[in-house]
Amino acid sequence: MGFPLAGLRVLDMSRVLAGPFAGRMLSDLGADVVKLEPPEGDITRIWGRQVAGVSGYFNQQNAGKRDISVELGGQRGAGLVKRLVGVADILIENFRPDVMGRLGLDYATLAAVNPRLIMLSISGFGADNPDSRRAAYAPIVHAETGLVERQAEISNAFPADLPSSIADTNASLHGLVALLAALYAREQTGRGDHIDLAMVDATMVTNDGMNYALDEIKRPMPNEVHATSGGHLMLAGDFRFIWHQLRKVYGLTDGLDEDADLADKITARRQAAHQFFNETCEDRDAVITALDKMNIAWGDVRKAGDTRDLASVRARGTIAEVDDRAGGVRPIPASPYRYAHGQARIQGGAPHLGEHNVEVLADWLGMTDEEIDTWQDVLVQQLPQTES
């Protein structure tokens, strides 16, 4: 078996992260993903290190795609999009909910062109509600759905954004699930579908702690980082579990009477645990041996760049290399999918703006060079830049 989605055509009109990440995963699975950008390009083309005119951020989210740049402001640009939609299986977009309609590219219009089209629309708050027109990036959704407040509570710090765009990537992955389900349904019905996916919905359903908030009960104690003789380690399980294991396996006590004040007990137990992990366990090997004996999961607190040193990352090839378009290679997170029979991998580096205008129009639409020339008023191409 080859790539599971080989032969599938995807028109990716999205930008930044929520849509492009879903498109990247479809490309890794073998789909022919064509990113359609406006002449000014995706804003992320300037985010991160530039190599041969491609930024690191753009490269990560758009690796393996082909690229066509179309001016969408007039009827001719929209007309060209409709022709591409006519032969596409999937269209991805993450504009605000009314933008595609204003461009003349709403689902009803496109479904009339191609009834088998599956369209994924990702927005911050979904369509047809009072919040629909609000601008929404991941930090806004993090704040609105309680993640920022929860982070501040855990860290006893002033509220700040999360270190990763969880709201975007959650929406991407839920969008990917919805697309694959719609593809399966299309096999039964012959009809496409429109997926209205809100980042706020995806974030809330993926938050395993929402049940505590909705039931209005106190959340369990969080997992914590512990300073040990083996370095800073994240230990799985709240402190009550860790203390239970220390007492059960190693016989630690808090040295207090049963009727002692609870706050005093907690302080004494934390002091005893700290002493155990830093003095009784004299080095890293002793700490890890003790944690494994107590069946407590642990993890080193690493910098993101140091993840290459993780044994599983090295063994699985989690960091891949792609052509950097400048005679070398550059690192990029690899496809996470591992099949027994199928394949999934990055299809190549990210494209330049409009790099495949001619190639895509000839390949998807069978246009001749002469016919492609008639569309030059709405097509844009940006040549590679030198490394900076």
Cα–Cα distance between 264 and 262 in angstroms, integer?
5
Q: What confidence tier does 385 reach under pLDDT thresholds 50, 70, 90?
A: low
Specify the pLDDT at position 387: 45
* 358-367: long-range contacts, CB 8 A cutoff, minimum separation 24: 359/66, 360/34, 360/66, 360/68, 360/84, 361/68, 364/9, 364/34, 364/84, 364/87, 364/88, 365/83, 365/84, 365/87
pLDDT at 386 over 70: no
Q: Tell me the per-residue pLDDT of 247-291, one tens digit each, with 9 for 90 and over.
A: 999 999 999 998 999 999 999 999 999 999 999 999 999 999 999
**Length of the chain in terms of residues written:** 388
pLDDT digits (tens, 9 = 90+) for 165-196: 999 999 999 999 999 999 999 999 999 999 99
Rounded to an integer, what distance in angstroms lies between the CA atom of residue 28 and that of residue 348?
Answer: 9
3-state secondary structure of 154: helix
Residue 349 is classified by DSSP as S
Catalytically active residues are: 168
How distant, in Å, are the alpha carbons of 145, 219, 221, 309 from that of 153? 14, 11, 11, 32
- pLDDT tens digits for range 16-40: 999 999 999 999 999 999 999 999 9
On whether the CB atoms of residues 378 and 372 are closer than 8 A, the answer is no
Average pLDDT, the chain: 94
The torsion of the CA quartet 209, 214, 219, 225, rounded to 10 degrees, works out to 30
Q: pLDDT, tens digit, for every residue of 335-350?
A: 999 999 999 999 999 9
Domains present along the chain, CATH in parentheses: 9-209+320-380 (3.40.50.10540), 224-300 (no CATH)
